[in-house]
Structure 1
Amino acid sequence: MAAVTIWNEFRHEREDDDVAAVYPDGIHATIADALAADHTVQTATLDEPEHGLTADVLESTDVLLWWGHEAHDEVADEIVERVRERVLEGMGFVPLHSSHYSKPFKRLMGTSCSLQYREDGASERLWVVDPGHPIADGLAESTELPKTEMYGEPFDVPEPDRLVFVSWFEGGEVFRSGCCYRRGNGRIFYFRPGHETYPIYENETVRRVLRNAVAWASPTEGSPRTFGKRD
């Protein structure tokens, strides 16, 4: 059982009635519900002191899930660096959907993390392209998400260590929707499906992916890392 922190801007749900209708308690609460049976879960939001991500909170976090969209620039650089350092130390990091453009993910990737997009509510088919990966455990070959936002290539991120999912959209676009990375001792999994006005995080396949991702990204003991001059 991992100690999970779910971070959410928690702005759309309080400002937009359409979003509140889908996620009345916030996206973070819906994700927490998907994980609570298997993990110890707490949440944090942008407008809390230190964005809810104090040094003590992050020190006690095994895996941090991140959902951001409209307020990336409001995240303090001090907190971004705090998250980056914890990932390098071994904390897992799972940025979701539009968090491709979050400060922590961009800092860890070292690229713009830009992409193409279209908000048309068309369908998506999420294909498992690495069926042997633990994040794909228990999933069907593919899953249809009937209403979603299109993300399209090029996706300006480093080549993933492992690519678990590829999405196909009605417009013909494809996208690398499940990208695994290692940074320092930490594991990172970027997962594309999700949108504030579509109930993506109620989908059972998506919820299974989140549970699998937390298990995969949780810290492992490994071997001690020693730097500097040797005697």
Structure 2
Amino acid sequence: MHMRLFYLFIFFILFNGCSNSDHKSIKSNEINVLIWDEQQSEQKEAYDKFIGEVIADHLDKNPKINTKSVSIDDSHYGLSDDLLDWSDIIIWWGHVRHDDIPDETVDKILKRLINGELDFIALHSAHWAKPFMEAMNYKTISKIKDNNPEYFNNSDYSINYIEPFVDRYAPERKDVLTPRAELRKFPSGKINVNIYLPNSCFPAYRPDGKSSFIHSLKTDHPIMKGVPQKFEITSTEMYDEPFHIPEPDEVVFDERWETGEWFRSGAIWNIGKGQLFYFRPGHETYDVFDNQNVLKIIENSCFWMFDS
């Protein structure tokens, strides 16, 4: 999987292959939002509809937003070229069928994201969705390159990409944080770079349905417009730091639990010309997406991404 990422890295970073297209300038002022959902049967424990449909119902109340709610079981996994071309933003709920999405489709999403043709909102367990993980890999590599030009301006360098030892596992607290890089210079002039790709997970989680508290860290950010500086989510799953991801470009809010755990639950990355927003709160059997503040944050995110 990451050999594909290497070629994307070469094409988009080393050769600055981002296109000049800008979907926001050539489309209407209305926002096209594709809501992608595994639509697990367990969701019916908390909702009359599937999570994606609940979010679509809320966004449809705004006349400036057009939605299409799709499922992994739809034709082309709900991610046909026509749908991707239509979309300004993808909202993604994935949980247990991450690997069902073909690598070729993930490439198409990532290329559009890098080119600024698409933005991406990852919900909760989508931290292990293929598009999210590949975007984190891309961000890792580009950030290491940008922060260490003296290593990459040398013609005699090699890069080794080191994946997590086990695919999709929760790291232990004692594990060294990923992503990270080892940069080595040899007397011959040769340079070697070992890039440890992000695990995209965290050392603890607890699906016990206890409440959490969202704390705004940037009250003036458009994502938090009309949202209280602090609010409660009455039933959710707990994730605990450290989150093994590249440092976000912004953290809009964090989430805290009475037992002391906390998480960077509203994180933003610039991925090439596109933007990725990770929204942590959620669980397939808790009614997190009936919370009006949660829905307002998702709606605000769509407008902020489209206007940025």
1:73 equivalenced with 2:99 (yes/no): yes
User: Size of the alignment, in residue pairs?
Assistant: 215
Which sits farther off after the overlay, 169-178 or 19-28? 19-28
Q: Note the C-alpha offset of 1:21.
A: 3.4
Gaps of 5+ in 2: 1-29, 138-197
**RMSD between superposed Cα atoms in Å:** 1.2
Matched residue SS, 1:218: helix
* In the alignment, structure 1 residue 148 sits paired with structure 2 residue 236: yes
Kindly provide the CA deviation profile for residues 98-152 of structure 1, in whole angstroms up to 9, marking residues without a partner as x: 0011110000001221112111111100110111211011111111011110010
Alpha-carbon distance in structure 1 between the residues aligned to 2:127 and 2:259: 21
| Amino acid in structure 2 at the alignment position of 1:23 | Y
What does residue 196 of structure 1 align with?
Answer: 284
Q: 2:134 & 2:113 partners in 1: Cα distance?
A: 11
1:5 aligns with 2:34: yes
| Ranges in structure 1 where 5+ consecutive residues have no aligned partner | 221-231
Give yes or no for the alignment of 1:114 onto 2:201: yes
What residue number does 1:226 align with? none
Higher relative contact order (CA closer than 8 Å, sequence separation 6+): 1
Mapped partners of 1:80, 1:71: distance in 2? 14
**Alpha-carbon separation, structure 2, partners of 1:37 and 1:89:** 30
Give the counterpart of 2:60 among 24, 36, 41.
Answer: 36
2-side partners of 1:163 and 1:119: how far apart?
24
Q: Following TM superposition, by how much is the alpha carbon of 1:219 offset from its aligned partner in structure 2, in angstroms?
A: 6.3
Partner Cα separation in structure 1 for residue 79 and residue 282 of structure 2: 23
SS at match of 1:156: coil
Cα deviation digits, residues 6-60 of structure 1 (max 9, x gap) = 00011x22xx3xx313223211100101111221000121111211111111111
Matches within 5 A, 1:100-179: 100-110=127-137, 111-115=198-202, 116-179=204-267
What is the CA-CA distance between 1:62 and the residue it aligns to?
0.5
Larger Rg: 2
Structure 2 residue identity aligned to 1:67: W
* Correspondence for 2:115 among 89, 107, 123: 89
Corresponding letter in the other structure for 2:291: N
Q: Percent identity?
A: 38
Q: Deviations over 1:55-113 (max 9, x none)?
A: 11111100100000011111111111111111112211000000011110000001221
Question: What's the counterpart of residue 126 of structure 2?
Answer: 99
Say which SS state the counterpart of residue 239 (structure 2) adopts: strand
Matches within 5 A, 1:210-229: 210-218=298-306
Q: What is the TM-score normalised by the length of structure 1?
A: 0.90
Structure 1 outlier segments of 4+, above 6 Å: none
8 A Cα contact 1:8 1:67, kept in partner: yes
